[in-house]
């Protein structure tokens, strides 16, 4: 047996071999966090202190869960499937499937992703005749999710005025609608299983006794509800190990509550706080920058990274004239790295916002450098894939109105908005699903077409009955008419490819689950083990409502005392319920859940050696030999929407900290004096974060201009803007860049720069782009000029002081340079 503890440093060793008590591990970037987490589990099992079934390990992303599982199987000679390792949502799904009756859900409840949820909300607003101008669907969605993530049902929400009262009412109506349709949104997965555990004490006690060790990754990213969920599952005999890094908390905007770390320390009386501060990733110059920067944040738990890997190279800083020039410089730099043998895969370009990628992509494309952009549409989010899934969902759960509406007329079968509205009215009157309401519709051509659609779904269900999951998916993709529809579409080839890929995904899913490929998609694998078989009613009219009436919606408690005992006894201990959630339901249902919970990779081409482009957020958790952090400008990074408040600014600073700590060997920071944003050229001041880095660890590739002042000052003519060659040779002269650029041909951005330059000279005393000084606000750059004479006003970007309009007759401005 391999020695698990070999090569751990003292702190890591201490964390891995902690006694069974609650503990908080403050794990700095690159400090071997995942290794500690997995080795801890392996060590506990290997030393006989813990059985695999006693493990609950929670992550945020499927990727992290997969990595943990993979590392564990490499360390231990056991099948990690017996452990509960997964995302919060994945584990909640598992819990709810296993105890669906106690949770008042149909066994094959469907999961709404954010887009589905928004569609459901829009439908609700329309049905309730709500003015969606006054109550925008997106706001309501935000409100609902925010409330749920705080652990609040509609009745618990603080109502302060008519407006919020209406929101709360709509929240309640939305929950009723979801319940009627047998669907749950992401937040509901969490909240529902939280309530399940809260109300069913037997169930809760069972799991509390079972999970001897609970481990949570990225604890700084947990929201209030997730923390409550953990508290629900942690019993008197459980040990909770929370691993996180408050300095890498960058998701407050989506509900993460760093305060959970301090709360955990207090509420669990944590006596074991271990800091992992030795960094195995970056050279010292890079770490020094990270440390110095993050020290400016208040209210940290406190941590300083160190390395014994040596100083390495200083961090290079480049000032560009335009975003185009920034991109061009970056390409030259990347090219020389590639020439030196660096892998493109090991080089990343980071930016604060997605909009910045365009210029970079354009330049990379023109230069013929392969690149890969992270983000964007994921596989299961593609329209054609969602269409196919909607057919499958409808087969599984006819009450799913969201799925119904998505495909009732796709491919087009002559069912227009009018017919759908009629159907919706009928459904509302009968308090039934749209699917069931088709039987109620008596008259009109609409009725016939609707019945035809329902007939199609019924047929698909019957025809696929004895097929395996991939066969069934293929059958549906074909017979729904989707393939044929896309064949006539001239851009449909890719979509057809994706539909074929969906069939592969289904096959891959089966083998991942370790289930034979010959199991019928529609049949419960172990349906005998489940008290009630899935509903198999044939006709829509005869199909009973999927779930209990809305009145009983949140009555998860007393009435079920009997079944509570039963479900614990039923399955938990003989492994049925605690096994893979797949076992309790049909392959199709679990595949659909899988599709919702794991949106899939966003792009192919992972194998190719390409430069990696992504936002700083997306880079969290990754590392690269060389990293370019671009667009380090006030207003962009830190972003103008965040820089006004201390909390916002500190999160931006943590974001910068995350960005810096991605780099192993070489780090480049760049900013540009001008940047195209929203179709307009913006004049920017360099980011304050650059001032916050220790000068000793930096190497300026361009001369460092005075504080926060662009260096092009008052030169208005075009000459100043062909300055790239000038500038670059200057930096080479300073011994800066290794590959001096010698008077290149007019670069592609020159034209734009010339336009920019032309705008400077308006014959006024002040020019756009000019640097000025103000007694109170300091130095800034003129962004715009309005009016004339005594009415003349100028708009000035004072960097951290913000953008101000100043009347020239009042404000005393001085030209700088």
Partner DNA sequence: TCGGTTCAGAGTATT
Partner DNA sequence: TCTGAACCGA
Contact call for residues 449 and 435 (beta carbons, < 8 A): no
Beta strand pairing status for 698-700 and 315-322?
Answer: parallel
Q: Which is nearer to DNA, 269 or 678 (CB)?
A: 678
What is the spatial order of strands in the sheet that 272-276 belongs to?
A: 84-87, 55-59, 213-216, 239-244, 23-27, 272-276
Count CB-CB contacts under 10 A for residue 22. 20
Contact call for residues 55 and 211 (beta carbons, < 8 A): yes
State which of positions 354-393 bind DNA (CB under 7 A). 354-355, 358, 375
Contact between 652 and DNA per CB under 7 A: yes
- 218 catalytic? Reply is yes
- 662 catalytic? Reply is yes
Question: What mask of x and - would describe binding to DNA in positions 674 to 693, judged by CB under 7 A?
Answer: --x-xx--------------
Question: Could you tell me which stretch among 58-66, 198-206, 435-443, 803-811 binds DNA (CB under 7 A)?
Answer: 58-66
From CA 604, how far away is CA 364, in angstroms rounded?
19
Q: Nearest distance from residue 449's CB to DNA, in Å?
A: 9
Contact call for residues 775 and 717 (beta carbons, < 8 A): no
- From the list 82, 259, 648, 802, which residue makes contact with DNA (rule: CB under 7 A)? 648
Contact call for residues 67 and 509 (beta carbons, < 8 A): no
3-class DSSP state for residue 730? helix
Catalytic residue among 102, 181, 188, 217: 217
Q: Which is nearer to DNA, 588 or 676 (CB)?
A: 676
Contact call for residues 631 and 351 (beta carbons, < 8 A): yes
Q: Kindly state the tokens that stand for 398.
A: 């006819």
Q: Give the dihedral sign, CA 253/254/256/259.
A: positive
Contact between 89 and DNA per CB under 7 A: yes
Q: Nearest distance from residue 641's CB to DNA, in Å?
A: 4
Catalytic residue among 662, 666, 682, 793: 662
Q: What are phi and psi of 24, to 5 degrees?
A: -120, 125
User: How many residues are listed for the chain in this entry?
Assistant: 817
Q: Nearest distance from residue 380's CB to DNA, in Å?
A: 10
Q: Which is nearer to DNA, 537 or 641 (CB)?
A: 641
Contact between 615 and DNA per CB under 7 A: yes
Q: Which is nearer to DNA, 113 or 332 (CB)?
A: 113
Closest listed residue to residue 215, CA positions, set 82, 40, 9, 48: 40
Contact call for residues 527 and 534 (beta carbons, < 8 A): yes
Contact between 87 and DNA per CB under 7 A: yes
DSSP characters over 251-265: -GGGT--THHHHHHH
Q: Nearest distance from residue 15's CB to DNA, in Å?
A: 25
Please work out the total of residues on this chain that contact DNA, with binding judged by CB under 7 A.
43
Q: Which is nearer to DNA, 489 or 623 (CB)?
A: 489
Q: Nearest distance from residue 485's CB to DNA, in Å?
A: 9
Q: Which is nearer to DNA, 375 or 550 (CB)?
A: 375
Contact between 731 and DNA per CB under 7 A: no
E strand spans, 581-683 = 611-615, 624-629, 663-677, 680-683
Contact between 341 and DNA per CB under 7 A: no
Question: Could you tell me which stretch among 352-360, 432-440, 512-520, 742-750 binds DNA (CB under 7 A)?
Answer: 352-360
For residue 303, what are the CA distances in angstroms to 268, 276, 295, 665?
21, 8, 9, 22
- 386 catalytic? Reply is no
Question: Could you tell me which stretch among 245-253, 390-398, 494-502, 764-772 binds DNA (CB under 7 A)?
Answer: 245-253
- 217 catalytic? Reply is yes
Contact between 633 and DNA per CB under 7 A: no
Count CB-CB contacts under 10 A for residue 132. 14
Structural element, H or E, at residue 92: helix 88-98
Q: Nearest distance from residue 593's CB to DNA, in Å?
A: 9
Contact between 531 and DNA per CB under 7 A: no
Beta strand pairing status for 213-216 and 239-244?
Answer: parallel
Question: What mask of x and - would describe binding to DNA in positions 96 to 115, judged by CB under 7 A?
Answer: -----------------xx-
Q: Nearest distance from residue 599's CB to DNA, in Å?
A: 5
Q: Nearest distance from residue 343's CB to DNA, in Å?
A: 23
Question: Could you tell me which stretch among 16-24, 330-338, 528-536, 591-599 binds DNA (CB under 7 A)?
Answer: 591-599
- From the list 302, 416, 452, 569, which residue makes contact with DNA (rule: CB under 7 A)? 416
Catalytic residue among 218, 474, 634, 652: 218
DSSP characters over 775-811: TTTEEEEEEEEE--GGG-EEEEE-GGG-EEEEETTTS
Contact call for residues 331 and 347 (beta carbons, < 8 A): no
Q: What is the DSSP letter of 380?
A: G
Contact between 599 and DNA per CB under 7 A: yes
Radius of gyration over alpha carbons of the chain, in Å?
30
Contact call for residues 582 and 513 (beta carbons, < 8 A): yes
Question: Could you tell me which stretch among 60-68, 205-213, 457-465, 564-572 binds DNA (CB under 7 A)?
Answer: 60-68
State which of positions 174-203 bind DNA (CB under 7 A). 186-187
Q: Nearest distance from residue 528's CB to DNA, in Å?
A: 29
Q: Nearest distance from residue 171's CB to DNA, in Å?
A: 17
Q: Nearest distance from residue 354's CB to DNA, in Å?
A: 3
Q: Nearest distance from residue 353's CB to DNA, in Å?
A: 3
- From the list 352, 406, 495, 793, which residue makes contact with DNA (rule: CB under 7 A)? 352
Q: What share of the chain is helix, strand, coil (3-state, %, to 5)?
A: 50, 15, 35
Q: Which is nearer to DNA, 351 or 721 (CB)?
A: 351
Contact between 62 and DNA per CB under 7 A: yes
Structural element, H or E, at residue 771: strand 771-774
Catalytic residue among 11, 33, 665, 675: 33
Residues 6+ apart with CB under 8 A from 575: none
- From the list 412, 542, 775, 810, which residue makes contact with DNA (rule: CB under 7 A)? 412
Contact between 296 and DNA per CB under 7 A: no
Catalytic residue among 12, 107, 141, 248: 248
Question: What mask of x and - would describe binding to DNA in positions 249 to 288, judged by CB under 7 A?
Answer: -xx-xx----------------------------------
Q: Which is nearer to DNA, 652 or 779 (CB)?
A: 652
Question: Could you tell me which stretch among 347-355, 396-404, 556-564, 571-579 binds DNA (CB under 7 A)?
Answer: 347-355
3-class DSSP state for residue 274? strand
For residue 412, what are the CA distances in angstroms to 417, 472, 593?
12, 22, 27
From CA 24, how far away is CA 33, in angstroms rounded?
12
- 776 catalytic? Reply is no
Contact call for residues 220 and 248 (beta carbons, < 8 A): yes
Q: Which residues bind DNA (CB under 7 A)?
A: 60-63, 87, 89-90, 113-114, 186-187, 250-251, 253-254, 352-355, 358, 375, 409, 412, 414-417, 597-599, 614-615, 617-618, 639, 641-642, 648, 652, 655, 676, 678-679
Which residues form the catalytic set? Answer: 33-34, 217-218, 248, 662
């Amino acid at each position: 047996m391999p020695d698990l503890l070999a090569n751990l440093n003292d702190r890591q060793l201490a964390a891995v071999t902690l006694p069974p008590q609650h503990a908080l591990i403050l794990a700095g970037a690159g400090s071997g966090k995942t290794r500690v987490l997995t080795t801890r589990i392996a060590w506990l099992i290997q030393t006989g202190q813990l059985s695999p079934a006693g493990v609950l390990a929670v992550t945020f992303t499927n990727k992290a869960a997969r990595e943990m599982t993979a590392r564990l199987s490499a360390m231990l000679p056991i099948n990690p499937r017996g452990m509960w390792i997964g995302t919060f949502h994945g584990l909640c799904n598992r819990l709810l499937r296993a105890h669906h009756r106690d949770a008042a859900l149909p066994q094959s409840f469907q999961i709404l992703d954010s887009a589905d949820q928004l569609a459901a909300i829009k439908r609700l607003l329309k049905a309730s005749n709500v003015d969606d101008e006054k109550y925008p669907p997106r706001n309501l969605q935000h409100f609902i999710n925010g409330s749920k993530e705080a652990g609040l049902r509609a009745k618990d929400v603080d109502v302060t005025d008519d407006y919020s009262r209406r929101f709360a009412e709509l929240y309640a109506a939305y929950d009723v609608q979801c319940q009627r349709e047998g669907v749950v949104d992401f937040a509901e997965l969490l909240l529902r299983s939280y309530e399940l555990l809260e109300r069913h004490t037997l169930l809760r006690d069972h799991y509390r006794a079972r999970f001897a060790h609970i481990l949570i990754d990225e604890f700084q990213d947990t929201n209030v509800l997730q923390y409550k969920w953990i508290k629900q599952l942690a019993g008197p005999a459980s040990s909770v190990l929370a691993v996180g890094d408050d300095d890498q908390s960058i998701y407050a905007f989506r509900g993460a509550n760093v305060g959970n770390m301090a709360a955990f320390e207090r509420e669990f009386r944590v006596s074991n706080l271990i800091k992992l501060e030795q960094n195995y990733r970056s050279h010292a110059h890079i770490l020094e920058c990270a440390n110095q920067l993050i020290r400016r944040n208040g209210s940290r738990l406190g941590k300083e990274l160190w390395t014994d890997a040596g100083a390495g190279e200083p961090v290079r800083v480049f000032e560009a004239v335009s975003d185009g020039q920034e991109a061009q410089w970056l390409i030259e730099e990347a090219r020389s790295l590639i020439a030196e043998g660096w892998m493109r895969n090991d080089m990343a370009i980071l930016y604060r916002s997605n909009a910045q990628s365009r210029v970079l992509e354009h330049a990379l494309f023109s230069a013929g450098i392969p690149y890969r952009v992270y983000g964007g549409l994921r596989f299961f989010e593609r329209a054609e894939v969602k269409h196919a899934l909607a057919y499958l969902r409808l087969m599984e759960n006819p009450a799913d109105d969201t799925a119904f509406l998505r495909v009732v007329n796709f491919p087009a079968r002559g069912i227009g908005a009018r017919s759908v509205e009629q159907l919706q009215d009928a459904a509302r009157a009968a308090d039934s699903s749209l699917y069931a309401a088709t039987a109620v519709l008596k008259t009109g051509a609409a009725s016939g077409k609707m019945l035809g659609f329902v007939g199609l779904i019924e047929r698909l269900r019957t025809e696929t009955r004895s097929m395996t999951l991939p066969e069934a998916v293929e059958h549906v993709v074909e017979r729904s008419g989707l393939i044929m529809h896309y064949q006539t579409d001239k851009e449909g080839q890719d979509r057809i490819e994706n539909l074929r890929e969906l069939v592969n995904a289904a096959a891959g899913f089966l083998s991942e689950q370790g289930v034979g490929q010959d199991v019928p998609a529609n049949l419960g694998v172990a349906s005998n083990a489940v008290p009630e078989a899935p509903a198999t009613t044939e006709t829509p009219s005869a199909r009973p409502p999927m779930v209990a009436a809305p009145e009983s919606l949140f009555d998860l408690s007393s009435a079920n005392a009997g079944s509570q005992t039963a479900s614990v006894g039923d399955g938990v201990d003989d492994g049925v319920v605690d096994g893979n959630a797949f076992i309790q339901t049909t392959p199709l249902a679990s595949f659909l859940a899988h599709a919702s919970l794991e949106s899939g990779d966003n792009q192919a081409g992972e194998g190719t050696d390409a430069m990696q482009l992504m936002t700083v957020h997306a880079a969290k958790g990754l590392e690269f030999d060389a990293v370019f952090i671009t667009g380090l400008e006030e207003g962009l990074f830190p972003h103008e929407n965040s820089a006004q408040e201390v909390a916002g600014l500190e999160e931006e600073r943590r974001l910068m900290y995350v960005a810096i700590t991605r780099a192993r060997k070489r780090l480049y920071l760049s900013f540009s004096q001008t940047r195209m944003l929203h179709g307009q050229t913006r004049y920017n001041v360099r980011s304050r974060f650059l001032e916050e880095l220790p000068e000793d660890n930096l190497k300026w590739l361009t001369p460092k201009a005075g504080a926060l002042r662009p260096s092009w000052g008052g030169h208005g003519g075009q000459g100043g803007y062909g300055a790239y060659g000038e500038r670059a040779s200057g930096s080479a002269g300073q011994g800066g860049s290794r590959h001096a650029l010698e008077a290149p041909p007019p670069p592609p951005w020159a034209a734009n720069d010339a336009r920019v330059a032309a705008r400077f000279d308006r014959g006024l005393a002040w020019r756009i782009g000019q640097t000025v000084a103000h007694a109170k606000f300091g130095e800034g750059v003129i962004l715009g000029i309005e009016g004339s004479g005594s009415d003349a006003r100028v708009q000035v970007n004072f960097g951290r002081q913000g953008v101000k309009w100043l009347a020239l007759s009042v404000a005393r401005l001085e030209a700088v340079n």
